[in-house]
Structure 1
Amino acid sequence: MADDVSVDAATLRSHLEEQLGEDRPIELAPIEAGRSNETVSVTWGDRKLILRKPPSGESSEDAHDVLREYRIMDALQKTAVPVPEMILVCDDHDVIGSDFYLMEYLDGHVVRGEEPDVFSASDSRRRFGEELVETLASIHTVDIEGVGLGDLGHPDGFTERQVERWGKQLEWALDRTERRDELSELEAVGDWLEENVPTATPQTLVHGDYKIDNVLFGPDPPPEIIGVLDWEMGTYGDPLTDLGWFLVHWHDGGDSDPVFPTVTPPFLDAEGYATRRELVERYERESGIELTDERFYRALAAYKEAAACEVFYARFLRGAENPFFEQMDEKVPEAAVRAKRIVDGEERL
């Protein structure tokens, strides 16, 4: 077994031979990609593949549902949404101990924190943001019934359930971190969201975690997204929750310093990059969906991020050895302040 990879190479090789009809040497290597599903590089002869599986020791619950992820990307193969080619999926735990799937390897840039030199020219900077919102619009204009994903979720009441779900997550965390007073602003944001849930919302395919580091840009300018990744939270619901999530991870001129600069890169307020408002206007033109209640959707996104991070901190206090989780001691109060600033109109679109 390769170092730091919880997959038996010999067993996987035998499965690939059985399913794809070829016996080739195999090498595995871990890929650092987020804090959810485990991502493994698979070199199988002269082919490069990517394997996705739930984290070791955890079951395939909704938060780590690789079968759902595979199903969505497989359904999108012939649409305008750029996704990798799917190779195979397996729900037989006798193979590697969990569900998993394999997809083609794509060569490109995942942008986390630092601006890629190849995209630093002014025309590339403008195109960078446009490509992101145009791709998001392509997700939200998929014929969800036509591609066979109409049963993916329950769109009626989706947005209200999002507020309820993350409120419960926050309650669970605060019961364990015991810092309600310190995070009173965050609870106030939750109360405001409950009172301001939109009564009528659009219904489309939703990615669930659409932000800069969950897409893959091609290797050369101009910026072009060649793969939208990490679909484990994909569903049928309110597309404006996706847009709000994207917007709170786009750093604009006049914003305070990002709480999480890896996923909200500070370089985005440099000359040449589009503003949030410009990106919203382009999204609306491309998708035909109007961003109503923009303050609600941005506040919801900021609230979700802060609540999720307080859950991380609660897990750290309960013994999870994770340096990122430990940082939430300081980061969550900062995130709570930002969410309240959005509610109060101090951080504008």
Structure 2
Amino acid sequence: MANGQSEEAYLEQLIDEESLREYLASELGAVDEFAVTYHQAGHSNETLFVDWGERELVCRRPPAGATADSAHDVLREYRVMNALQGTDVPLPETVLECDDHDVIGSDFYVMERLRGDVIREAEPKRFGKPEFRRRIGTELVDVGAEIHALDPEAVGLGSLGHPDGYTERQVDRWTAQIEWAMEVTSERREVPTLFEVADWLADNVPEPPANTLVHGDFKLDNVLFEPGTPPEIGGVFDWEMCTRGNPFVDLGWMLAYWPDEKDPERTKALTPSFLAHADYPTRRQLLERYEDRTGWTFENQRFYRAFGVFKIASASEMFFRRYLEGNSNDPTYPNMEERVPEYAAWAERIIDGEEPL
């Protein structure tokens, strides 16, 4: 728990349970059974499981305390997911959104809960066969390609974002978020390499292959695999940064979280290391499948892979600020004091060609 804060105390910061109950009753009808459980899993918006009678729901809201501008837009997340209901992209069923801060103190939305596994630190035992391990990778790539193949106009998202100049703005945005975080974190330690990487990225922005729907946080632990075998993705989560833009930014982010057996141990230690097992697809194999599915060639890979790692560093530095300010009880956040400099060095090695694809 951050700075000694208990889970109960943090939950009280996140939600007024009685107020939420009254609101849900007005929208969904009253029930006898109601319970709220804090789900400490992701590292961005907060997730709360809500038992509402016989229904299993999920409430999503921003984290407690100050955050970087636009980094936790849950209503954007809801509206994108709502628009994509009925497409081939697997998603939870949306229920309602609320922008009345008198209810729980922030924007929030509610969706149906899915059952299955989100793969983070270890693989589910049922997937421990070579063909299932390969399938985990191909499922991930295929769903990402499906997102990029959607016609934003056809699903009602034609006005989402501003695709022209998207990649340049992404570099500026994630650099600005590092600067925001370092207003506090630099009092503990500085990371000058991050700004060297930022300068290189700003000077080497490539042209996109197309302007498509972009998830913005597409990686293995933002999808849920359904119960049973073979592995099949049942839902994609964390859409708050979805927009129209450069699909290779999504691809570089996904690859940053996928280690290879050949990677240095210091790099594998920063990602789900079990994915480096020889049974899993390599980054090159994932990329080849993506290229086959989309018809695009992944050019300028140093930029997109380095930018993926730079985004990890930026998000991690924001986590570290939240920890220092006492606005999170995530036990991983204190580790960012050491990890962010490691991420910065990793991005620099990719730029210098020392960690090829």
TM-score, normalised with respect to structure 2? 0.89
Higher mean displacement: 188-197 or 339-348: 188-197
| CA 55–292 in structure 1, closer or farther in 2 if over 3 Å, else same | same
Which residue of 284, 287, 306 corresponds with 1:277?
A: 284
Higher relative contact order (CA 8 A, sep 6+): 2
Instruction: Give the deviation of 1:65 after TM superposition.
Output: 1.3
Higher mean displacement: 167-176 or 28-37: 167-176
1:83 correspondence with 2:98: no
Alpha-carbon distance in 1 for matches of 2:232, 2:99? 33
Alpha-carbon distance in 1 for matches of 2:104, 2:188? 42
1:320-339 mapped onto 2 (5 Å cutoff): 323-339=331-347
1:165 correspondence with 2:185: no
Which residue of 248, 260, 265 corresponds with 1:257?
A: 265
Q: Which residue of 2 aligns with 1:304?
A: 311
Alpha-carbon distance in 2 for matches of 1:95, 1:173? 29
Alpha-carbon distance in 2 for matches of 1:199, 1:342? 19
Alpha-carbon distance in 1 for matches of 2:352, 2:68? 39
1:52 correspondence with 2:81: no
Higher mean displacement: 134-143 or 199-208: 199-208
Q: What do the CA deviations read for 1:149-177 (whole angstroms, capped 9, x no partner)?
A: 11211110010111122233334445654
Q: What is the DSSP-based 3-state SS (H/G/I as helix, E as strand, rest coil) of the residue aligned with 1:64? A: coil
Which residue of 285, 291, 296 corresponds with 2:298?
A: 291
Alpha-carbon distance in 2 for matches of 1:69, 1:301? 21
Matched residues, number: 347
> Percent identity, aligned pairs only?
52
| CA 43–310 in structure 1, closer or farther in 2 if over 3 Å, else same | closer
Q: What do the CA deviations read for 1:126-162 (whole angstroms, capped 9, x no partner)?
A: 1000000001011111111111111211110010111
Where do 5+ consecutive residues of structure 2 fail to align?
A: 1-6
CA contact (8 A) 1:38 1:54 kept: yes
1:234-253 mapped onto 2 (5 Å cutoff): 234-253=242-261
Instruction: Give the deviation of 1:289 after TM superposition.
Output: 3.0
Q: Which residue of 1 aligns with 2:4?
A: none
Which residue of 133, 154, 161 corresponds with 1:153?
A: 161
Structure 1 segments of 4+ aligned residues over 4 angstroms from their partners? 57-61, 172-182, 258-262, 314-323
Where do 5+ consecutive residues of structure 1 fail to align?
A: none
CA contact (8 A) 2:64 2:328 kept: no
Higher mean displacement: 216-225 or 175-184: 175-184
CA contact (8 A) 1:255 1:347 kept: yes
What is the root-mean-square deviation of aligned Cα atoms in Å?
2.5
TM-score, normalised with respect to structure 1? 0.91
Instruction: Give the deviation of 1:258 after TM superposition.
Output: 5.4
CA contact (8 A) 1:41 1:50 kept: yes
Q: Which residue of 2 aligns with 1:185?
A: 193
Instruction: Give the deviation of 1:294 after TM superposition.
Output: 1.1
| CA 21–321 in structure 1, closer or farther in 2 if over 3 Å, else same | closer
1:134-149 mapped onto 2 (5 Å cutoff): 134-149=142-157
Instruction: Give the deviation of 1:93 after TM superposition.
Output: 2.4
Which residue of 204, 216, 221 corresponds with 1:208?
A: 216
| CA 343–61 in structure 1, closer or farther in 2 if over 3 Å, else same | closer
CA contact (8 A) 1:113 1:261 kept: no
